[in-house]
Amino acid sequence: MPPMNAPSSPVLRSLVTGTPPHSALQSEVQAAARTLFPRMSERRQMLDVFANAQIERRALSRPLEWYLEPRGFAEKNAVFLEEARTLIVRLSREALRQAELSPADVDAVVVVNTSGLSTPSLDAFLIGALGINPHAARLPIWGLGCAGGASGLARAADLVRAGYRRVLYVAVELCSLTLVRGDESKSNFVGTALFADGGAALVVTAPEVPGPPPLLSLHGAFSTLIEDSEDIMGWDVVDDGLKVRFSRDIPTLVHSMMRENVAQALAAQGWTREDVQTFVVHPGGVKVVAAYEQALGLPDGALDSSRAVLRKYGNMSSATVLFVLAEVLRQRPQGRGLLSAMGPGFSAEHVLLDFAPQA
């Protein structure tokens, strides 16, 4: 059982990001799409999606040519298990090292993913592979998509507040493996232009736990599920795997709701928009980032970190916002921040941050 009198302000001790070993330029993926989707590729407007995505390169779980051959759900999911396990072990070891903790110190493990299936869940594998305490609490989270990176961070902080003093949190997504070859739907084509593979591992602890200086503290979270919106984004399960579904204009939705939603998230903790200096936003696409920027009236450059991650890595679903957080931390921010992501549900997730003062 967790100890009594849990702390109220968990802190982030380490954050490590990484990708599988293979990668491709966006121009190479576009050329592959011509082979995979000949009918859609005849439409100039659809081919422009690749250039408009403003992605330069992204990581893949297999060499690009592997995706050109027919692959069933079972084969793709087997690759997911192999590559996801390898990646989360590597990232978690480094996150624990940077947090100056041993695997035996971990009290709870949170693992977020949406792009592959595993039973037992990935956290069970991770505990065995690293030698984590077998009595550690386990929280596998599946199905939150792009919103999962923010939600997983919030749940890791909740576990610390509940008394689990050292929490390992991992998000891993291998979105390239959800490609459905021959599916000439607009959703699948757009997904091919955006989706990529990557993962992140973080250690969240109680503030009194010995270790390196905290990177930031976590001051609450806010979740919103939009009524009658499950059609907006998600997976349809087909014989060839997880088929992406986009059914509405997500940037327009972000633009219409985000100002009020952010105000509600901040007010729940007694904060105001003026209190927040730094915004850490999941880059679902360039239009989504622009819509967020416009809705909040952010100055030029406020979301450059989101754009940089999208350009260098593509959309890695839940892991992406944690890559953005790593990018922001390299800039040594001060004051308060807000981490935000949206995903299937349709939902919005926000985490309130206070960046540790720098020496």
State the 10-residue block means of pLDDT for the chain, 359 residues long.
54 97 94 85 79 93 95 95 98 98 97 95 97 96 94 97 97 94 81 93 96 94 87 80 76 87 94 94 92 92 95 96 97 94 89 77
11-205 placed in CATH 3.40.47.10 = yes
Strand partners, 58: 24
Torsion, Cα 46 48 52 54, to 10 degrees, reads 110
**Which amino acid makes up residue 222?**
F
Residue among 146, 154, 262, 288 flagged as catalytic: 146
Specify the pLDDT at position 3: 40
Round to whole Å and give the CA distance between 7 and 280.
24
Q: Delimit the CATH 3.40.47.10 region(s) of the chain.
A: 11-205, 216-355
CA distance 340 to 349: 6
Q: Match 């936003």 to its residue by tokens.
A: 281
Q: In the prediction, which pLDDT does 359 show?
A: 39
Q: Is 175 a catalytic residue?
A: no
Bridge-based pairing state of the strands 108-113 and 137-142? parallel
Nearest to 179 by CA among 280, 83, 272, 64: 64
The pair phi, psi for residue 223, each rounded to 5°, is: -120, 145
Alpha helices, DSSP H only, in the chain? 26-36, 38-41, 44-52, 73-98, 122-130, 148-161, 186-194, 250-267, 286-296, 304-313, 320-329
Q: Cα separation of 200 and 102, whole Å?
A: 18
Does domain 216-355 correspond to CATH entry 2.40.50.100?
Answer: no
pLDDT, residue 343, reads 86
User: Does the reported pTM lie above 0.85?
Assistant: yes
